[in-house]
Structure 1
C-alpha cells in the first residue's frame, strides 16, 4: 500500500518534471541510463506516476528530442531572423551561446553522443544542423553576402560553436579572455570589422550580468 507522501509526490509531478529528470540522466550517463524505474527512484515516486504522462519509454525519449530541437535550434533561428543589423545578429548569437538558460550545450552534446548509436536520431540531428546553417546563411545573405559565401560562413560559425562545446573550450577561458577575442572572432566569421560602439555596448551588458554557465 502506498503511503500518503508517496501518493502526494506522484500527483504533484508534472510531465516536465519527468523530462527534466530524464535530461539530467541523459547528460550525466547517456541514453541507456534513461530508464523508467531508475527515474522513478531518483524522483522518489512510483512507476505509475510516469504512465500518467507517457505511454512508454520511447515517448519520453521523443520528448527529450523535442525539447532539444525547440530549445537549441529555435533560439538560434529566432535570433538571426530578428536581427536588424549584421553586428547585432552576430552578437546576439554570441549572447545565446553564452547564456545556457537559452541554449543548452550539455543537452546538445548529449543528443549528439546518443545519435552516434541511433541511425534515426542521426538523421534528425543532421536535419537540425541543416536548419541552423540555413537560418544563419539566410541572415548573411540578407546583409549582402552572395551565395555560396553566405552558406559557407554559416557553416563555419555553426560548426565552430559545436566544436567549441565538444572540446570544452569554454571551461578553459575566462569571460574576460573571451571578450578579448570578440573583434577577432567577428572579423573571422564575417570578413568585416565590428563597430567599436557596438562592442562597447555588448561588453557593458555582459559586465553587468553574472556569467551564465
Structure 2
C-alpha cells in the first residue's frame, strides 16, 4: 500500500533549480572530468532523486548543452565586456589582464576542463574552436578601434589571446607570483601592442593590483 503519492514525495525533495544542476555538473567536470557528469551521481551529490533532474532537463545531453552554454557565457562574455567601449588602448589591454588574473571573472579551470572534454568530443571541439575564434575576433575589433589595420589587428589579437591560453595550459601561474607578473607589465604591453605604456598608467595599475590582491 502506498502511503504517499508521487507528487507528495517530490514535494519533499529540496527545491532545486536548473542552475543548481548545471553548477553540480560543472563541479563534477572540474573534479573528475566529463565521465563523472552522470544523472545518478549528481543526484547523490545533491541529495535528491533522479526525478528532480527531469523537472528541468529531458536528458543528460540537455544538461551537457546547458553546461557548455554556461561556460560560453562566463568566459567569453566577460572578455567581451572587458574590451567593450574602452577609451584607450591601455584601458582595454589592462582590462583583459585584469579579467585573466581574476578567476572569479574568467574561470581558467573551467576553460581547461572544457578543452580536455573536447579532446574526446568532435562536436564540442568544433564549438571550442568557434569560441576561440569569437574571442580573437573581439580582441581584433578592439585593436582596430584603436588604430591598428588588418591583418595586424588580427595577428596581435591571436598573439595576446593564445599566449594567455597557453599560460593556463602550462600552469605557469602556480610558479609565478603576482608581483613578478606585474614586474613584466610594460614589457608585456610593448610585446602585445608595439607601443609603450604611459609610466603613470603602469604605476597606478601595479599599485592597485598589489594592494588589492593576495596570491593563493
TM, length-normalised to structure 1: 0.93
Residue 25 (structure 1) shift: 0.7
Aligned match for 1:59, one of 47, 57, 62: 62
Write the distance in 1 (CA, Å) between the matches of 2:35 and 2:134: 28
Q: Which runs of 5+ in 1 are unaligned?
A: none
- Alignment coverage as a number of residue pairs: 210
Superposed counterparts of 1:194-213, under 5 Å: 194-211=197-214
Judge which range, 154-163 or 49-58, deviates more.
49-58
Aligned match for 1:175, one of 170, 173, 178: 178
Residue 211 (structure 1) shift: 3.7
Contact kept, 8 Å, 1:183 with 1:194, in 2: the verdict is: yes
Write the distance in 1 (CA, Å) between the matches of 2:47 and 2:215: 30
Secondary structure of 1:11's aligned partner: coil
Write the distance in 2 (CA, Å) between the matches of 1:211 and 1:112: 28
Residue 204 (structure 1) shift: 2.4
Aligned match for 1:31, one of 30, 34, 38: 34
Write the distance in 2 (CA, Å) between the matches of 1:99 and 1:82: 21
Contact kept, 8 Å, 1:79 with 1:89, in 2: the verdict is: yes
Q: Deviations over 1:62-98 (max 9, x none)?
A: 0110001101011111211221100010000000011
Residue 8 (structure 1) shift: 7.0
Q: CA RMSD in A?
A: 1.8
Q: Which runs of 5+ in 2 are unaligned?
A: none
Secondary structure of 2:120's aligned partner: coil
Write the distance in 2 (CA, Å) between the matches of 1:154 and 1:7: 51
Residue 20 (structure 1) shift: 1.0
Larger RCO (CA under 8 A, 6+ residues apart):
1
Aligned match for 1:18, one of 18, 21, 31: 21
Q: Which residue of 1 aligns with 2:73?
A: 70
Q: Which residue of 2 aligns with 1:187?
A: 190
Contact kept, 8 Å, 2:10 with 2:52, in 1: the verdict is: no
TM, length-normalised to structure 2: 0.92
Match status 1:91 vs 2:115: no
Q: Which residue of 2 aligns with 1:137?
A: 140
Write the distance in 2 (CA, Å) between the matches of 1:37 and 1:51: 11
Instruction: Extract structure 1 runs of 4+ deviating beyond 4 A.
Output: 6-9
Residue 99 (structure 1) shift: 1.0
